[in-house]
Structure 1
Amino acid sequence: MASSSSAPAKRLSQVVSHMASPSTSGSADVFHSTPYAPPDAIFALTAGYQQDKFDKKVNLGVGAYRDNEGKPFVLPVVRKAKQILASDDSIDHEYLPIAGLPSFVSATSKLIFGADSRAIKEDRVVTIQTISGTGANHYGGAFLQRFYEPWLGKSKEEKKIYVSNPTWANHKAIFNSVGLTPVDYPYYDSSTIGLALSSFLDFLRTAPAQSVILLHACAHNPTGVDPTRDEWKEIAKIFKEKGHFAFFDCAYQGFASGDLDNDAWAVRHFVSESIPLLVCQSYAKNAGLYGERIGALNIVASHAGDVEGGAARIKSQLLILQRQEISNPPTFGARIVSLILNDEKLFAEWKEDIETMAHRIIAMRERLHALLVDKYKTPAPGPNGWDHVVKQIGMFTFTGLNPTQCKAMVEKGHIYMTANGRISMAGINDKNVEWVAECIDKAIRGQL
């Protein structure tokens, strides 16, 4: 028979064991089942680059502009705007209106649609300030999920938003998070390293009427492959015939060609054709305000005012979305952009800064192309030689390199790029373009 002194010890042991058990609701690790999420591929590339000690290393992964010295570029006009703000004693730190800084909201819609836009003059454009283009995509998807008429009463699986294959890596995650189902449509032709126009148009013709289709307004991310104006007209014609909804993402206005109006042409053409649409804007790239997270969402309504389908009703619901999520948008980036957009002199200086960035990238395209064609005579990955390097537009280029070649570029060339062959042209400069070209050549030939 057990001694009486051992009974309390046994009971104490049971209590301790019980408290340590992970199944006990009151004392278990309440996050015990949380799985480890893989790191974002782009940020993982950047981390690898930062840890690399190789003296010729090159970061072609991150989508941020760098000057010819490989350094972050603060636009001169942005520096000037910041100085103006710093010396203005009337500026306070009160909340902005829920829709955002009024002077910014008004000016940003004119930038994308044009100051003479009929939709703006008719008060049919609803605009709210967002947390850069990411926030605009999020709100655009969330609004459609709740109020897009053809989707009412349908399940998440039926609320399909069609996105180009490939597209910006974050698009699908954003749309999934707001209750939509992203589905690929054909866009990029790997055999020609160009636009799969025929397949794209066939998809538009056969997609269910009133489908929601995401379009990159300019400088397609990640391919750099844009339709021509005539091709945009074909696309718009089918949109109009089928009643499709155009979900425009415009992250590179001005940055693509160096011309703000040129890069807004597709959006303005769709508006002129009375195609239902919304437009997401970002000032990360074209103003270099990556960390200030300044953007906007614009929805073009069928009517002005508080009527069915009217702009006032749409705005009222966007304000609720904003209030529920961030309450009020941040001020600093909006004040910078507002100054630039609303001051004639600053606006002219901004256009010069945009041209500087865009033209440097265009020059690097030409330099890389010349090295591959003339110096190294590198075998091309497609039927059109290396012309895609100069024909593609904007920050990114799809090189045509396969995953094995891309892996060699990273591991042996110390050139950090994604496995799909995408490179950021902003990361190429006079000091490293020869090394990049040499490594591409060796990778293509299997010698790296």
Structure 2
Amino acid sequence: MSARLDGAPAASYWRATTTEPQYRPPAPNSRYDAAIIGAGYTGLNAAIALADKGLSVAIIDAQQPGWGASGRNGGFCCIGGDHLGIEAIEKRFGAAAAQSYAQAQLAAIEQVKYNCERFNIDADISGVGETLLAHKKNRLPQLAQTRTAFLQHYNLQATYLTPAALNQRGQLCDANIAGLHVPAGFGLHPLKYCYGLVRAAQDRGVNFYNHHTVTSLAYQSSHWQLSTTQGEITAGKVLIATNGYTQDAMHTSLNGSVLPALSNILVTRPLTQQELDRQGWWSHNPSYDTRHLLYYFRLLPDRRFLFGGRGGIRQSEASFAAKRKQHALDFQRYFPAWSNVNVDYFWRGHVALARQQTPHISTLAQDLYCALAYHGNGVAMASWSGNKVAALMLNDEPSLAEVPTFMRAKPKAFPLPQLRTGYLAAAYLAYSWLD
């Protein structure tokens, strides 16, 4: 099972509200110190870090920067990147590893903020922290447990929010039994951030090979030969940073190791102040609920509302239309005062799940590396991972010391990987019942 790489860029609100950079034509059949497959946050951050150390770098993408998750996500720059949760990570990998991972997640948020500052990226940053909303009474203990975990592992004092407090903060929806505000993270325009990184990379001499699909990788006497649909590229080191669009045939070490899952997003027309007041939601803080197949949502700076959620395993036109209809109904159920508000945009894209349920920053073979699997929360973690995988490629041990040991493990293939779609369908059924 591999995510499709064909098709035009998603007709998203992000693409409608930013301008794509101009790209210098790359030299054909060239040799580089490092080649990066995948022009998303991971690849771009890695390219900048490598170029800053004097390496010649090429970024190769089957489409173009921001075509995948880096241009399709909800713009949540926050704690996350795994599917386990910090308490399960502590139980599985130990207290020291959990502490290291918690610090990495906080550092990842700061790196995005730092990138925007040093590269002068106007990414429409909005909101302060994020809010977790209990969608059922039986999830109230989860809020208390999460609050304790944030204090213990992240040294963050999360604020418990009663319905009255949510009302005062302008965060009322159908899932307003109670909430928990975490004072870390913010919202941004993900494609403006992505394109800002592209410009920073080009300023450092990075070459972009857009619409070049890598068809084979071969190691030949101290270098890698990358065959693409438009020519050959030679590199001393290669990074695979394709996340949810990783193809099984990319390299034997990654065959069957990534499970792509669909995430869906709608954006409404701009809301009036009267409409915001009627629903009781005017906060710009990113929010999400306690469902396993969570909904995530936020008010954008221009007063449009973004509403996202997991679900769907097929990519057909019929599936797209059905999910758009269902997603709109879910939005109306959560925000009934906006049931007649037009939806101007709907799109979907792939997140990447790994068998270990954590991100990976790994050496796959001689001078071959990967950084991927952010489990639907990659704005911050992908940026940080790109920087850290560059440290791995450069043998920068002081920087690598900040990477938890479990993240450096090679991704493992799922059992009977040809059945990954079935695993996902079964999981969705179980989660729907639990939710």
**Structure-1-length-normalised TM-score:** 0.24
Looking at secondary structure, tell me which structure has more strand per residue.
Answer: 2
TM-score (norm 2): 0.25
Give the helix-richer structure, 1 or 2.
Answer: 1
Considering only CA atoms, is the larger Rg found in Structure 1 or Structure 2? 1
